[in-house]
Amino acid sequence: MSIPSSPQAASVESVAWGKTAAGEEVKLFTLRNANGMEAKITNWGGYIVSLKVADKKGQFADVVLGFDSLEDYLAKNPFFGCITGRYANRIGGAKFKIDGVEHHVTANSGKNHIHGGKLGFDKKLWNAKEITDGVELSYTSADGEEGFPGELKCTVSYTLTQDNGLRIDYKATTNKPTVVNLTNHAYFNLSGEGSGDILGHELTIPTDQITATDDDLITTGEIVSIKGTPLDFTTPHAIGERIGADYKPLVQGIGYDHNYVLAGSGMKLAATAKDPASGRVMTVRTTEPGVQLYTGNHLKEVNGKGGHVYQKRHGFCLETQHYPDSPNKPAFPSVILRPGETFQSTTIYQFSAE
């Protein structure tokens, strides 16, 4: 099945891509714009399976880490390009209060909660329909799923723009007060997946503030200045330039694993990454108040696409989000969603070459 394309619209095609253990059919959607940029999205977990963009010579490469088959995505994997929720990142103590009522969610990172629990949104089959320029995925999370209150109805749309942007739009509604924090967990390598580490990539993040964390990477509630430190990317720096510095936040994260506090409201610049070797540039814009930089510090011997083996720091993530542990930090931007309200968020990963 496919949606006809106009000169301005991206083409959309879908194929059967296998079945879950429960026998549910999974689809793989291919989005392609007039410039030859291509994204492959599956409705199992909303994974970005492939993202092919051109370098400065016009050569295309797949710039996201992942797997060749559905079976590998169904097995244990490090969140390669999935929809992450109901609550992306960490919730300290795997509990929080709303209106004085305490809720306990799955503790799947020691005593803490991370990325939606044991069976988060990355492990769900989403309903899918083709839309102009892309695909819309929808999933209803039951009241009490992973301990979260309220039935949460979610839609996530992936669209490919004619100026080489992969746009992700998130929406959610609830029938009880709950918390929600949705993101995508793509690991990028602008030289092409399987090409080695990303330490030579140059990164700019337009803020000199992060949310401070403890040794378990749970936010303390403080927003601190990182001006002039190895975490400061307000001017371009290679990711590997200072990653091994004897600096407490880097030691805690075993590299970069930090939430940067973005200034302003509405759509804003979150980060720019450039691979000097290929000339590929990725610009990230978002309506979210934060972006988590993660440098693949825990990747080890992962058998990925095309026989490639992914190791430590072979990919990096820029996860647009609300701040970690916001349900327990009243001073942070609120993640509480109430009946009658709609959670809405947009992030665009835009590609060019120079």
DSSP 125: B
Distance CA 232, CA 170 (A): 29
* SS3 category, 262: coil
Mean pLDDT of 275-293: 98
Mean pLDDT of the chain: 96
For the record, the structure tokens of 195 come out as 């090409």
Whether the per-residue pLDDT at 148 is higher than 90: the answer is: yes
Mean pLDDT of 37-65: 98
Find out whether 122 and 82 touch, Cβ atoms under 8 Å.
Answer: yes
What are phi and psi for residue 304, nearest 5 degrees?
-105, -155
Element (H, E) at 83: strand 83-84
pLDDT exceeding 70 applies to what percent of the chain?
98
Give the chain's domains with CATH numbers: 2-353 (2.70.98.10)
Whether the per-residue pLDDT at 149 is higher than 70: the answer is: yes
Residues involved in catalysis: 185, 319
Q: Is the dihedral of CA 110, 112, 114, 117 positive or negative?
A: positive
Whether the per-residue pLDDT at 6 is higher than 90: the answer is: no
Find out whether 294 and 210 touch, Cβ atoms under 8 Å.
Answer: no
What does R_g of the chain's alpha carbons equal in angstroms?
19
Find out whether 28 and 15 touch, Cβ atoms under 8 Å.
Answer: yes
Q: Considering the entire predicted model, what is its pTM?
A: 0.96
Confidence of residue 1 (pLDDT cuts 50, 70, 90): very low
- Closest of 158, 107, 109, 104 to residue 131, by C-alpha: 158
pLDDT of residue 7: 57
Residue-wise pLDDT for 172-200, tens only, equals: 999 999 999 999 999 999 999 999 999 99
